[in-house]
Amino acid sequence: GENVEQHPSTLSVQEGDSAVIKCTYSDSASNYFPWYKQELGKGPQLIIDIRSNVGEKKDQRIAVTLNKTAKHFSLHITETQPEDSAVYFCAASIQTGANNLFFGTGTRLTVIP
Amino acid sequence: EAQVTQNPRYLITVTGKKLTVTCSQNMNHEYMSWYRQDPGLGLRQIYYSMNVEVTDKGDVPEGYKVSRKEKRNFPLILESPSPNQTSLYFCASSPLGPGRETQYFGPGTRLLVL
């Protein structure tokens, strides 16, 4: 099955700085890559996703890039704010007919005011 | 409000005492799934259901059972819980499946098996 690796496991940044979280995947058939944010005491919530026919996608301060050749994708958060502090998970799936979503191990992001 | 609900939110039990964690969604989603979350391991899928009466194993199904008798409900059953099932459990649902649509997660159930 798919194996998703995520780095770093913890990340601390100063408010206003950028944060980058990186993931690699093993199955070249994977073509859907969502990112989830999990706040304390809550379930994960989708914040952005990218499909394999796109190299980059942006949504305000959040962007995701995908390199299918190298099998890695990254989450970029610019102008970080304290409310960005959370655990972030990357995931990978085969888009069509997929029954499973394979998650990375998570990155705990702390934004220092 | 569109949501996935789980009950109970916290549960302490003893080895071997059968328990059920309920999950319900009000979005008429076809797909539902259970995950467990453990430190350093991320989320791992236990079971999923593509529709009523259609269930299948995920990555870590041992020691768990599920049923899907109604579209909105997907209970997780631990027939004989063991300490290695101590974990944080999440139920999730999506319109068609996790590869094509957003998954909506419940708030989680923290289980401690003594």
Nearest to B108 by CA among A35, A4, A45, A108: A45
Q: What is the pLDDT of residues A47-81, one digit of tens each?
A: 999 988 778 999 999 999 999 999 999 999 999 99
pLDDT of residue A1 exceeding 80: no
Cis peptide before A8, with omega less than 30 degrees from 0?
yes
| Chain B residue with Cα closest to A49 | B102
Cis peptide before B39, with omega less than 30 degrees from 0?
no
Say which of B42, B44, B108 has its CB closest to residue A106: B42
The b-or-e profile of B31-60 (16+ CB within 10 A means b, else e) is bbbbbbbeeeebbbbbbbbbeeeebeebeb
CA distance A79 to chain B (A): 26
pLDDT of residue A102 exceeding 80: yes
Average pLDDT, chain B: 94
Q: What is the pLDDT of residues B13-38, one digit of tens each?
A: 999 999 999 999 999 999 999 999 99
Q: What is the pLDDT of residues B54-105, one digit of tens each?
A: 999 988 999 999 999 999 999 999 999 999 999 999 999 998 777 667 889 9
Q: Does B48 touch chain A (CB under 8 A)?
A: yes
pLDDT of residue B52 exceeding 90: yes
Mean pLDDT of A15-33: 94
Say which of B43, B50, B92 has its CB closest to residue A89: B43
Give me the residue label for tokens 């099932």. B85
Sign of CA dihedral B50, B55, B56, B58: positive
Residue A103, Cβ density class (10 Å: 0-12 exposed, 13-18 middle, ≥19 buried): buried
DSSP class of residue B85? G
Q: What is the CA radius of gyration of chain A?
A: 13
Mean pLDDT of A89-101: 77
CA A100 from centroid of its chain's CA atoms: 17
Q: With an 8 Å Cβ cutoff, are B97 and A103 in contact?
A: no
